[in-house]
Amino acid sequence: MAHELNGRERLPKWMKMKMPKGESYSKVKNLVNKHGLHTICASGNCPNIGECWNRGTATFMILGNICTRKCKFCAVPNGMPLAPDLEEPKKLAESVRIMGVKHCVITSVDRDDLEDQGAGIWAETIREVKRVNPETKIEVLIPDFRGKMELVQQVIDAGPDVISHNLETTEERTPFIRFAAKYRRSLDVIKYVADNFGRAKSGIMLGLGETHEDVLKTMDDLLEAGCKVMTIGQYLAPTTKHMPVVEYIEPEKFVEYRNIGIRKGFKFVESSPLVRSSYRAEEHVKA
């Protein structure tokens, strides 16, 4: 369903975002501003920032803010990144401590310029966050590391609580949406995590031109790979230069997909228009 107004895209009423509020949210916001901390929650203008910060969940991005890939859905700038900051693991661990984060989600840009794709910094960051914040649960949303499973194993060995890798979209839409990434390679990463770690999670966006049958096939592919937690949300174009939204999916359709996913065998399915990868992430540990 497309919504147009004066030639510009208009969001449907169910995509309207609530103003973040709450005592915990205000406390975290003040700490972020005071200490100059960086979170995807704030920089990405996440619609769930208030709810997540009130729950004690926050998402951080490591390895810089320039990606070596140019996916058509993502607002992160692409190009040649700077050298990794070797002090970043300590800085992030301290940020988590200052903010009092109970469930820390860590993601990163793709670093195809590095021999280890950034896996060494990934592993050291996880270990350092655990050392400084032993009570904090750690979820990592990893890149595909170009399918090099020995690099995925470095992340596993560091001991996070949940490992996630997003398919982002269906197999049919992948070549049009993702840059350098491959649907089957991402499934291989998810399967390796499921087989060698246990807690595998993934997510997709809707509204990119996928069909109902495409979504069901994606669910089956994830389950076959051993994935037990899935997130489904509405795609929103970051700018007019990105892939345009093909369709705004009705909330009832998201409920339908959640019910289908549970019946198919997922332990947990977060499915609604404003859902993002880390939404209610602290609940996914239980799955």
Q: Are 236 and 262 contacting, i.e. CB atoms less than 8 angstroms apart?
A: no
Structurally, how many domains does the chain consist of?
1
3-class secondary-structure state, position 57: strand
Residue 181 forms part of a structural domain: yes
Q: Go through 261-278 and write b for each residue having 16 or more CB atoms within 10 A of its CB, e for each that does not.
A: beeeebebbbbbbbbbbb
Alpha carbons 243 and 7: distance in angstroms, whole number: 17
pLDDT for the residue numbered 6: 34
Residue 75 forms part of a structural domain: yes
Residue 8 forms part of a structural domain: no
Q: The domain spanning residue 228 has which CATH number? A: 3.20.20.70
- Return all residues near 217 (Cβ < 8 A) that are at least 6 apart: 170, 171
Alpha carbons 223 and 154: distance in angstroms, whole number: 24
Domain around 134: 18-284
Residue 217 forms part of a structural domain: yes
Estimate to the nearest angstrom the gap between the alpha carbon of 225 and the chain centroid. Answer: 18
Residue 205 forms part of a structural domain: yes
3-class secondary-structure state, position 252: helix
Ordered per-residue pLDDT tens for the chain, 287 residues: 344 333 346 788 877 766 666 666 677 677 667 766 566 666 556 666 666 666 677 888 899 889 999 888 888 888 999 999 999 999 999 989 988 888 888 999 999 999 999 999 999 999 999 999 999 999 999 999 999 999 999 999 999 999 999 999 999 999 999 999 999 999 999 999 999 999 899 999 999 999 999 999 999 999 999 999 999 999 988 888 889 999 999 999 999 999 999 999 999 999 999 887 766 666 666 66
Residue 1 forms part of a structural domain: no
